[in-house]
Amino acid sequence: MSLFEHQSNEFIPRHIGPNEQETKQMLKTIGVSSVDELVNQTVPSGIRMDHTLRIPAAMGEHEYLEHIKEISLRNKTFTNYIGQGYYDTIVPSVILRTVFENPGWYTQYTPYQAEISQGRLESLLNFQTMVNDLTGLPISNASLLDEATAAAEAMTMFFNSLNKQDHIERHRFFVDKEIFPQTKDVLLTRAIPVGIELVIGDHREASLDQTYFGAIVQYPNDKGVIADYRSFISKVHECGGYVVMATDLLALTLLTPPGELGADCAVGSSQRFGVPLGYGGPHAAFFAAKDDFKRSMPGRIIGVSIDAQNNRALRMALQTREQHIKREKATSNICTAQALLANMAAMYAVYHGPDGLKQIAKRVALLTQTVADAILERDFELVSDQFFDTIVVKTKDIAAIRAKAERQHINLRYIDDRHIGISLDETTTPDSLYDLINCFENDEDPVTFDINYDDDLSHIPTSLTRTSAFLTHPVFNTHHSESQMMRYIKMLENKDLSLNTSMISLGSCTMKLNAASEMIPLSWVHWSRIHPFVPADQAQGYHYVVKHLSDYLCEITAFDACSLQPNSGAQGEYAGLLTIRAYHEANGDKHRDVMLIPISAHGTNPASAVMVGMKVVVVKALENGYIDVEDLKAKAAQHAANLAGIMITYPSTYGVYEETVKEITAIIHQHGGQVYMDGANMNAQVGLTAPGLIGADVCHLNLHKTFAIPHGGGGPGMGPICVKKHLAPYLPGHVELKDGATKNQHTAVSAAPYGSASILLISYGYIRMLGNEGVKRSTQFAILNANYMRAKLEGQYDILYTNHNGQCAHEFIVDLRPFKKSAEIEAEDVAKRLIDYGFHAPTMSFPVPGTIMIEPTESEDKAELDRFCNALLSIREEIRAIEEGKSDKKDNPLKNAPHTQFVVTADEWKHSYSRQQAAFPLHYVTLNKFWPSVARVNNTYGDRNLICSCEPIESYMEAEA
Ligand SMILES: Cc1ncc(COP(=O)(O)O)c(C=O)c1O
């Protein structure tokens, strides 16, 4: 390799852990002579890709950053007054630098292991408290994918609350015509498959009856109008229905909150609380509701509990509602959401506090009022004179105004050919008003206007002016200087174990490196300040990335078309199944509604099938973990007339490449079904095989797994879908996507046309810097690393499900069930003990209860893999001591794990093992000790005493049992 080729390929060894020397040693441990031999023994020959991926060769890191800078300049950073749910915002620098750009925050996993997640759980509790206070509703979650899907979740929650699954009594949902168009679209997509009828009209004229289960209104509405919904809400309640208000957090600092108006639920986006526009995302949606809904609310709710020492400890509450347990009966399908962005929004509220937020809101309202007055003075009419940040101007001459606005690099919202919307935000200054007002000025007079700083906010109706206090908790009234804020963020960060501490070997979740060069461009203004609904010619940089990334993903999957709209894997499943549904419908096969799903499938699979109105039929597994082909054949034949398809994960969730996969896909096709492939395990396919080669018709890709988007402590994520040609016409559309690329303009699954567009850059960067060789090598090394660990642990632990050569795929399952009998040790004890060794537990009890599933990824080097194996081997010895009666069954390092500093340094130590063994069981731990901030968290206590917002300050010090 020449010096220059070397530079172009520099990222490959930075992304992939093991070097040449280590690779040799690892191959020896596995008992094969080369990586190729290992792959040949692992991936069935019948499905192997026989060509090099047609994606570009690798780029060096610096070269990539130059390239992506140049592409970014194709985006035009106009001043946006478009609004419609997206507003420019000022990300406080301290939050930008210490949260958004900090791997200590963005590389975390979803806080399932509560003991090492107290920092982000605390911040998410702040988010919930902020949402509760501002909406005036007692319970909220943290968080949802976007405003439109949050509205759809509210609709579904109401629908399920008032109907039984097999008996629909109320099927109508009233939609006020003045909600955001993208929300309307997503509601429509969600409503149709489950039999909900949307009735769109004016809430003031709605005639409702017992067939309605609920209604949605927007506050302030799509045209910026602040309407009083009190009587409408009463009307809906009189019919026995519920009301959700889509709303705006900044406006709610000045307006009477939905809870005080009688609404049952409030949803919206927290984007304008310091989260960049990013051409549509990622942003966190919020969802708040009355107490009655606390057990049926979608998404993750953070709750307060206690730990083993009776100290206050946080956890995700009511986790039994998760899809894992409830599968097709799940209350929602939220897995990956937008935790990182919820944290940013919460931090914004912590930093500004209630007074700061109110000042921002008042500034925005005052400037909007000033613009309104100036425009009225110029003989225009406004649609309403009751507004907060948005006015709509009536005009017959849109073209001239638009031309002038664009000359000044201003985007207004051109609603139709007679109405222009103008939405202001916290970046608007008195100076910016000159250009804005100039758009409505004749070309002769100089622009003048008056701002009366002492003016009342006369356009906010007195009857809807907020009188109640909010954000009174000390956390929102303390950290207002940068020093304090920086330390608060750091204090929380220190409580959480992230990838910058040690490997996180979560099977199926693929916690690989999120490289700095992939992340850096996200902070650049040409990516971050683009509104999702700007004219296409202003987003050419984004369109370049969308086009090329789509092409690469099609090539990698061996498919023909791609939609980048879904914001998570689960949403990708939903979108993919919608394409199958639409395809069958177009072929006159509307009745095809049976989806076969293997027993080992992730809970989101059956939950997604139900969301598109399908019936789930479970397919059995054999003892070796393979799909039971005989059972499959029988069920496919039995349901042939109505077969919609199958959902499979490949390699399977048991971590093996089934040789029978092509037979499976053929059986489904023979019976008229379509094959959906869950792409969670795509990290074991790229460059070696592909969904298209195994016979699938559609798949989603978790860009936050295989393609390096960080997990952000529970989101963001992206779940684009790739399809074969025949499904391409049924890919999601979008009202604002006027490129004619898709036939369906009203099948949106997300609020923005390209979902969380800004993070697409990460996956694009990943592919460009690894190149065609590097992405394949990543797959090979993912398999190498997993098999190396498997080989090291075999003999001491039972490994479930390897193939006939004894190899696993990119992950493997360790069976911990035998220890229950031999030592009364459960999988949870091992998971918590790993914390004492400085590690996050692997995936617990999925897909097999009582096991852990380890996926090291290609990004870990041998030393880290060895450390992790040594931890597990040392834990095995600790279990053996119990088995042999040398250690007590109740009082041992596993049962008492994790050990906090308080426990270890307490004056009293009553255990039969030493403090040293408790906290520093191996030498490497002494070099980089990670202390859990709480001891084992009590789950039952938390669910029985549900507290989901910040409690009084005293309780932070000590909780009572
Ligand atoms: C096999 C499988 N399918 C689907 C999902 C859901 O993906 P997401 O969390 O992005 O919604 C997961 C998540 O871990 C998974 O492991």
pLDDT in tens, 689-716: 999 999 999 999 999 999 999 999 999 9
Ligand 1 pocket mutation pick from 508, 511, 846 by most atoms within 8 angstroms of CB: 508
The per-residue pLDDT for 164 is: 85
Atom of ligand 1 nearest to the CA of 649: 1
Closest-CA residue, ligand 1 atom 8, reads: 569
Task: Answer for the pair 302, 150: CB distance below 8 angstroms, yes or no.
Answer: no
Nearest to 718 by CA among 774, 758, 748: 758
**Cis upstream peptide for 598 (omega within 30°):** no
The per-residue pLDDT for 746 is: 59
pTM of the model: 0.97
Q: Ligand 1 centroid to 541 CA: how many Å? A: 30
Ligand 1 pocket mutation pick from 604, 605, 683, 705 by most atoms within 8 angstroms of CB: 604
Q: What are phi and psi of 702, to 5 degrees?
A: -85, 100
Closest-CA residue, ligand 1 atom 12, reads: 680
Which residues contact residue 487 at a Cβ distance below 8 angstroms, ignoring those fewer than 6 apart?
Answer: none
Closest-CA residue, ligand 1 atom 5, reads: 569
Q: Ligand 1 centroid to 839 CA: how many Å? A: 22
Q: Ligand 1 centroid to 680 CA: how many Å? A: 6
Interatomic CA distance for residues 383 and 390, integer angstroms = 11
Residue with tokens 């000042």: 359
Atom of ligand 1 nearest to the CA of 509: 14
Ligand 1 pocket mutation pick from 653, 702, 721 by most atoms within 8 angstroms of CB: 702
Atom of ligand 1 nearest to the CA of 336: 9
Interatomic CA distance for residues 898 and 118, integer angstroms = 14
Per-chain mean pLDDT for the chain = 95
Most confident residue range from 3-12, 601-610, 671-680: 671-680
Chain segment 419-452, per-residue pLDDT in tens: 999 999 999 999 999 999 999 998 787 888 988 8
Closest-CA residue, ligand 1 atom 7, reads: 569
The per-residue pLDDT for 844 is: 93
Burial class (CB in 10 A: 0-12, 13-18, 19+), 633: middle
| Start-to-end C-alpha separation, the chain | 65
Ligand 1 pocket mutation pick from 336, 340, 648 by most atoms within 8 angstroms of CB: 336
Ligand 1 pocket mutation pick from 145, 323, 335, 853 by most atoms within 8 angstroms of CB: 335
Closest-CA residue, ligand 1 atom 10, reads: 569
Q: Ligand 1 centroid to 568 CA: how many Å? A: 8
The per-residue pLDDT for 647 is: 97
Lowest mean pLDDT among 198-212, 231-245, 315-329: 315-329
| Ligand 1 neighbours by CB, cut-off 6 Å | 335-336, 508-509, 568-570, 602, 604, 649, 653, 678, 680, 702, 717, 719
Q: Ligand 1 centroid to 845 CA: how many Å? A: 15
Lowest mean pLDDT among 318-322, 416-420, 652-656, 931-935: 318-322
Q: What is the mean pLDDT of residues 130-142?
A: 97
Q: Ligand 1 centroid to 98 CA: how many Å? A: 28
Q: Ligand 1 centroid to 904 CA: how many Å? A: 37
Interatomic CA distance for residues 230 and 260, integer angstroms = 9
Q: Ligand 1 centroid to 264 CA: how many Å? A: 30
Residues in the chain: 961
Task: Answer for the pair 82, 421: CB distance below 8 angstroms, yes or no.
Answer: yes
Instruction: Inform me whether the pLDDT recorded for 959 exceeds 50.
Output: no
Task: Answer for the pair 257, 468: CB distance below 8 angstroms, yes or no.
Answer: yes
Atom of ligand 1 nearest to the CA of 705: 10
Closest-CA residue, ligand 1 atom 15, reads: 680
Instruction: Inform me whether the pLDDT recorded for 744 exceeds 70.
Output: no
The per-residue pLDDT for 858 is: 98
pLDDT classification of 739: cutoffs 50, 70, 90: low
Task: Answer for the pair 686, 556: CB distance below 8 angstroms, yes or no.
Answer: yes
Q: Ligand 1 centroid to 569 CA: how many Å? A: 5
Q: Ligand 1 centroid to 949 CA: how many Å? A: 28
Chain segment 882-926, per-residue pLDDT in tens: 999 999 999 999 999 999 999 999 999 999 999 999 999 999 999
Interatomic CA distance for residues 667 and 663, integer angstroms = 6
Q: Ligand 1 centroid to 115 CA: how many Å? A: 23
Angle at CA of residue 190, ends 186 and 196, nearest 5°: 125
Q: Ligand 1 centroid to 704 CA: how many Å? A: 10
Atom of ligand 1 nearest to the CA of 334: 11
Interatomic CA distance for residues 587 and 581, integer angstroms = 10
Instruction: Inform me whether the pLDDT recorded for 819 exceeds 90.
Output: yes
Instruction: Inform me whether the pLDDT recorded for 961 exceeds 50.
Output: no
Q: Ligand 1 centroid to 405 CA: how many Å? A: 44
The per-residue pLDDT for 954 is: 59
The per-residue pLDDT for 443 is: 78
Atom of ligand 1 nearest to the CA of 573: 4
Q: What is the mean pLDDT of residues 595-605?
A: 93
Closest-CA residue, ligand 1 atom 16, reads: 508
Q: Ligand 1 centroid to 158 CA: how many Å? A: 26
Q: Ligand 1 centroid to 597 CA: how many Å? A: 15
Atom of ligand 1 nearest to the CA of 601: 1
Instruction: Return the percentage of the chain with pLDDT > 90, whole number.
Output: 89
Torsion of CA 627, 628, 629, 630, to 10 degrees: -170
Task: Answer for the pair 312, 958: CB distance below 8 angstroms, yes or no.
Answer: yes
Atom of ligand 1 nearest to the CA of 508: 16
Q: Ligand 1 centroid to 676 CA: how many Å? A: 14
Atom of ligand 1 nearest to the CA of 719: 10
Chain segment 343-377, per-residue pLDDT in tens: 999 999 999 999 999 999 999 999 999 999 999 99
Q: What is the mean pLDDT of residues 47-64?
A: 97
CB atoms under 10 Å from CB of 239, counted, come to 18
Task: Answer for the pair 94, 274: CB distance below 8 angstroms, yes or no.
Answer: no
Q: Ligand 1 centroid to 336 CA: how many Å? A: 7
Atom of ligand 1 nearest to the CA of 678: 3
Closest-CA residue, ligand 1 atom 13, reads: 509
Q: What are phi and psi of 421, to 5 degrees?
A: -95, 145
